[in-house]
Amino acid sequence: MRLVGLTGGIASGKSTVSNLFKANNIPVVDADMVARDVLKKGTMGFKKVVKAFGNEILQADGEVDRVKLGQIVFSDPSKRQLLNRLLAPHISMGIFCQILKLWIKGCKVIVLDVPLLFEAKLDKWTKPIIVVWVDPNTQLHRLMARDNSSEHDAKNRINAQMPLEFKREKADIVINNSGSLDDLNEEFRKALFEVTKPLTWIEFGLSRQGALSALMSIIVGLLMSKFFLAARMPNE
């Protein structure tokens, strides 16, 4: 099984690339969607976060107001770290369960879409690592246009994340999204070619098919051993 790491920065276009993988029938485990699930009303993650941040982060329906919570943690690094500590175990378990389900289905290539891939140390479990990169000026203006935010607020959100240039240096594949949508599609096609190459022997061994093949080899080996042992016994 090939577990591909996909990450980027805010307004870099990572979600667009993630959707392109889905459109090409490559299964994607979306950490943001997992995070939404672990923060739903009544879950353990919900209870921990409300206890830590208070009822003022709740909407009228009792669900967490993600926008309000985001404003709190993006303006205070210590609170952002606290939120990450509270939710990290639940998000990790959710990601693992989704990967396991896809493994059971026999998926050979799975894309793990995680904004905090490096911060959460999940990069050591993924190969190759794809970083969706965009130049700083383009990133800033796209974020301002997307969220209708001020330059000051947009810069704060960008600066709250690990520098995109650092992620770029750590990447196996870089998708440059500083240009047009056509440019992005061309960059994606190159990345898709690399991701869908035949599995290595190690990757095949980690797939469901590889595990079943290994199991069958063991069973056949045991049966053959018993057969030869039974065949020798009358002559001893």
Res 223 pLDDT > 60 = no
User: What are 10's strand-pairing partners?
Assistant: none
**CA 151 from chain center: how many Å?**
29
Structure confidence by residue, pLDDT tens digits, 40-84 = 999 999 999 999 999 999 999 999 999 899 888 888 889 988 998
pLDDT band at residue 216, thresholds of 50, 70 and 90? low
Topology, domain 1-27+108-197: Rossmann fold (3.40.50)
**In the chain, where does the domain assigned CATH 3.40.50.300 lie?**
1-27+108-197, 31-106
φ, ψ of residue 162 to 5 degrees: the values are -60, 135
SS3 content of the chain, % helix, strand, coil (to 5): 65, 10, 25
Q: What is the CATH number of domain 31-106?
A: 3.40.50.300
Which of the pair, 209 or 180, is modelled with greater confidence? Answer: 180
In angstroms, what CA-CA distances link 191 with 64, 138, 178? 36, 22, 16
Parallel/antiparallel/unpaired status of strands 129-133 and 2-8 = parallel
Tell me, what amino acid is at 133?
W
Neighbour tally for 226: CB within 10 Å: 10
Q: What is the DSSP letter of 149?
A: -
| Per-residue model confidence (pLDDT) at position 208 | 66
pTM of the model: 0.84
Structure confidence by residue, pLDDT tens digits, 6-39 = 999 999 999 999 999 999 999 999 999 999 999 9
DSSP reduced 3-state for 40: coil
Say how far apart CA 148 and CA 143 lie, in whole Å.
8
| Per-residue model confidence (pLDDT) at position 213 | 56
Tell me, what amino acid is at 47?
K
Pull the structure tokens for residue 74: 């993006």
| Per-residue model confidence (pLDDT) at position 227 | 46
Structure confidence by residue, pLDDT tens digits, 100-155 = 899 889 889 999 999 989 988 889 989 999 999 999 999 999 999 999 989 988 99
Task: State percent of the chain over pLDDT 90.
Answer: 62
